[in-house]
Amino acid sequence: MINKIITLLILLCFNFLYACNEDVSSDFQSYDDLVKIKYLENGWIPTIIPIDAKNIKEIHNLDLNSTFGKFEFSSHLFVDSILILQRISSRTIKENIARINRPSRPDWFISDSKIDQINPVKVIYEDFYIIVDTTLRKAYFLKYFKLSNEFATAKKPTLTTLSKGSSLLRL
Over the stretch 26-44, which tens digit does the pLDDT of each residue have?
999 999 999 999 999 989 9
pLDDT of residue 87: 92
DSSP-assigned letter for residue 146: S
pLDDT digits (tens, 9 = 90+) for 103-124: 999 999 999 988 887 667 899 9
Statement: residue 68 has pLDDT above 90: yes
Question: How far apart are the C-alpha atoms of 145 and 159, rounded to whole Å?
Answer: 26
Q: What percent of the chain has pLDDT over 70?
A: 71
Secondary element (H or E) of residue 132: strand 128-133
Question: Residue 141's pLDDT is what?
Answer: 96
Residue 161, pLDDT > 50, answer no
Mean pLDDT of all residues in the chain? 79
Task: State the Cα–Cα distance between residues 91 and 60, nearest whole angstrom.
Answer: 22
Concatenated DSSP letters for 38-56? TGGGGSSS-TT-BTT-EEE
Average pLDDT on 74-88 reads 90
Bridge partner residues of 72 (DSSP): 54, 138
Residues 54-73, mean pLDDT to the nearest whole number: 94
pTM for the model stands at 0.74
For the residues 94-106, what does the mean pLDDT come to?
Answer: 91
User: Which tops the pLDDT comparison, 149 or 84?
Assistant: 84
Q: Out of 31-45, 50-64, 84-98, 113-127, which region has the weakest mean confidence (pLDDT)?
A: 113-127
Question: In whole angstroms, what separates CA 123 from the centre of its chain?
Answer: 12
Please give the distance of CA 4 from its chain centroid, rounded to a whole number: 44
Give the distance from CA 166 to its chain's centroid. Answer: 25
